[in-house]
Amino acid sequence: MKCPVCEIGCDIPEGGVGRCGMYTCLGKGIAEIHGNSYMAMMPISMETIPILHYIPGAKVLQVSSVGCNFSCRGCISGIFTSNPRSVSGALKRVPPEKVVSKAIDEGCEGIAFCLNEPLVSYYTVMGVAEEAAKEGLFTGISSNCYFTKSAAHFLSNTIDFINIGFKGASDARYRDCGVMSSEPVFRNLKLFHDAGVHVEASVMHLKGMENEVVGTAEGISGISSDIPLQIMRFVPFGDAAIDLEPPVSSSELLCNGLKDILDHVYLFNSPGTPMLNTYCPKCGSLIAEREFYGPMGSKTKWFSPGGRCTCGYVLPLKGEFREGVFHEEGMMGGYRPTRGFEMVLAILECLDVRDGIKLDWLWKDLIKENYLAYVHEKLASFETYYEMIRDLSRRTGKIDEGEDLVCYLEAKSRKVTEKAGNLPVSKRPNVYYSMGTPLFGLISTRFENSLVECAGGRSLNRRITRKGKPGVTLSKEEFECLNPDYVIVSGLFSSPASDYMDFCIREGLDAGAVSNGRIFNMVPGWDFGSPRWILGLMHLANILHPDIFSFDLERERKEYYMMFYRDSDYDITNRSFVKYLP
């Protein structure tokens, strides 16, 4: 029987499954294999989904399952979408009325299906939306929107908002994701918009594929120039090449150029960019101020009452801004859980845990135990990181391998401490750790601060007291008050050091690091999330104190990789913490 949900149109035999692995044929109909079953439920804010023009700041219950009907390179959610069978045992069955009750108990105004692809849980979404409406809650989804026309039609009568994630405008881009055409997505966008559903769109910006973004914007403008477009600067994870990642400056240039096509264009995955803000399309005045809040996410700092500009323009907005924006704890909410579980994988990779069955059972246990809260706690220091290694080694029967890894990290870090630990304050340079753009500084509790201090620097980021994930946007005055001797550019959401220098010169940022040209990039994966942070520590020591440190980083890299990856040429060349997802 042909699946009626997705435009791929899988012909599913009796008892068989479709390509997404989430539907089967039972008797005369198609049914979900894991209906009303969830991997996670957690409260988030609307901007974390992200949705920007629908009740901004509202608290909603994010619900997530597993699986996807697409197969995209570098998928940020690959750990939960590429092999749903491996984590399906961790799914918890919750009937629609219980989901709604949890949303109410958490003080949420609505429910949002995101993280994995809601299309593979179509009937579950419909059931929850209908139940939510009875209790006065709204429902929305973040989806690739590859629904059949009939499925989209029925859904449009049930949900209140949708973020449609475009891969681009051309059929070629969609073939890269394993489907045939972009046409169903544009068709469904119009269908949802015409039905009165609040629609926002997002599109990936891959380096060299700017025409795909422009084409998407043009297609959207043919429906309505009021539809917000979120440009997702591509950050390569999984199997995606790092040369597909555009610099923040290139994405900003592209974003600026689209303002002649659409009224409201936003830039994500670019920490510190002002292009997350809402500006009046008539006079250019600020209407809403936001900042980066983890992968694909943002947080609203300020919103003009009613979305009204001083010139009289009124933002096309549904609902009033909610004061006191909800902040998710730890790694919870949005796409942050995917990074947390990849950090676990990075340790397991070093422990040589390759047994698929063992991994399946481990994932089930970790998800059921809410292990992400534990991971966040253990990222506070070297010592707590060692505790996490030992815990995972016990769970997987790799105790000796875990001790070998801990001993290696302790021995290498001790070599740094022995030389840098007794440096007087006058010999410790002031170091500022930034991400994406110079004015986005990591918060005081981040692991990178420990690296700086162990390497003989004074972490200026310890002085940042505001909340943020993973940092906050500083003013020019705050940056200059810090006056760093060195600026280190994070290896995660990164930019070339040359772009940093150009930004500082263009914006007139005055600091010792700028005048002395002391802006340095961290190697991807060497400062956070993976035991490879030990290489980042040695890299930092070489940078901050070349008079006392001269680590041969290529030799150290090969030694580490041979010991823990059993291959001296093993390498990870993108932003992932691991080379391959299971």
Closest Cα partner for 204 from 216, 195, 186? 216
CATH of the domain at 534: 3.40.50.1980
Last residue of a domain, one of 239, 262, 285: 262
197 in a structural domain: yes
pLDDT for residue 86: 64
Side chain identity, residue 461: N
Same domain, 58 and 119: yes
Same domain, 481 and 403: no
Q: Residues 315, 307: contact at Cβ < 8 Å?
A: yes
Q: Which residues of 319-342 are buried (b: 16+ CB within 10 A; e: fewer)?
A: bebbeebbebebbbbbbbbbbbbb
Measured over all CA atoms, what is the biggest interatomic distance in the chain, rounded to whole angstroms? 78
pLDDT for residue 501: 95
Q: Return d(Cα 70, Cα 76) in angstroms, integer.
A: 13
> Is cis: bond before 470, omega within 30 of 0?
yes
Q: Return d(Cα 312, Cα 12) in angstroms, integer.
A: 55
pLDDT for residue 483: 97
Strand 92-93, strand 37-38: pairing: antiparallel
Same domain, 397 and 543: no
User: H or E segment at 489?
Assistant: strand 486-489
Q: Residues 541, 533: contact at Cβ < 8 Å?
A: no
pLDDT for residue 580: 62
Closest Cα partner for 347 from 365, 367, 332, 362? 362
pLDDT for residue 324: 83
Last residue of a domain, one of 262, 277, 296: 262
Tokens of 575: 């932003």
Same domain, 528 and 549: yes
CATH of the domain at 200: 3.20.20.70
Q: Return d(Cα 27, Cα 64) in angstroms, integer.
A: 28
Last residue of a domain, one of 223, 246, 262: 262
pLDDT for residue 325: 78
Same domain, 241 and 96: yes
308 in a structural domain: no
> Is cis: bond before 184, omega within 30 of 0?
no
Same domain, 227 and 362: no
214 in a structural domain: yes
Q: Return d(Cα 141, Cα 65) in angstroms, integer.
A: 12
577 in a structural domain: no
Task: Write the Ramachandran bin of 384: left for phi over 0, alpha for psi from -120 to 50, otherwise beta.
Answer: alpha
Distance between alpha carbon 315 and the CA centroid of its chain, in Å?
27
Number of structural domains in the chain: 3
Closest Cα partner for 353 from 384, 387, 389? 389
Owning domain of residue 538:
425-565
Same domain, 225 and 167: yes
Same domain, 117 and 188: yes
Tell me the DSSP string of 397-441. T-HHHHHHHHHHHHHHHHHHHHHHTT--GGGS-EEEEEESEEEEE
Q: Is the Cα torsion angle 467, 468, 469, 474 positive or negative in sign?
A: negative
79 in a structural domain: yes
278 in a structural domain: no
Task: Write the Ramachandran bin of 159: left for phi over 0, alpha for psi from -120 to 50, otherwise beta.
Answer: beta
293 in a structural domain: no
Intervals of the chain under pLDDT 50:
none
Same domain, 97 and 232: yes
Same domain, 500 and 449: yes
Tokens of 159: 């949900």
Same domain, 191 and 54: yes
pLDDT for residue 371: 86
Same domain, 385 and 478: no
9 in a structural domain: no
pLDDT for residue 578: 86
